[in-house]
Structure 1
Amino acid sequence: MADQDGAPWREVPEQYGPWDRAYDLFRRWQRDGTWKRIFEQLQAEADAKGLITWGVSVDSTIARAHQHAAGARKKGHCRRNLPAASTPSPTTTASDARVAG
């Protein structure tokens, strides 16, 4: 069930009090390192019992772009020799603006 304004994340069992107090405590423990210490302790206990496999996985995948994706020139074409894509528009002067209006 959601609270008055429909926020389901604000649902906290009654024994923990209002959601904002539980959240404040969570954030305080996050800032002061309590959660990190809890995690490290649980991890150490699990490691001592042999429940953790310490494996390393390295991915050396390389993705390369095609040469034309990087703006390389195509065979036989040089940008200097290609005609301009568009011609510049003529300059408008103050007298031209009065005539047009």
Structure 2
Amino acid sequence: MENYVNYELTDEQWKRIQPLLPPENTGKKGRPRKDDRTMLNGMLWMNHSGAQWRQLP
């Protein structure tokens, strides 16, 4: 398995992407929100590795 760290966003990349995401507190009920950066890093890892969703670290 490839190293997960290779696909983490840099601080500079995150600064450019973060304003495009919805605000964290939307007032909606339901499942607690996860950290946006962590979730996006996971999606990038999945895209680059070709791993199955159950293999997500």
TM-score (norm 2): 0.34
The answer to which structure has the higher helix fraction is: 2
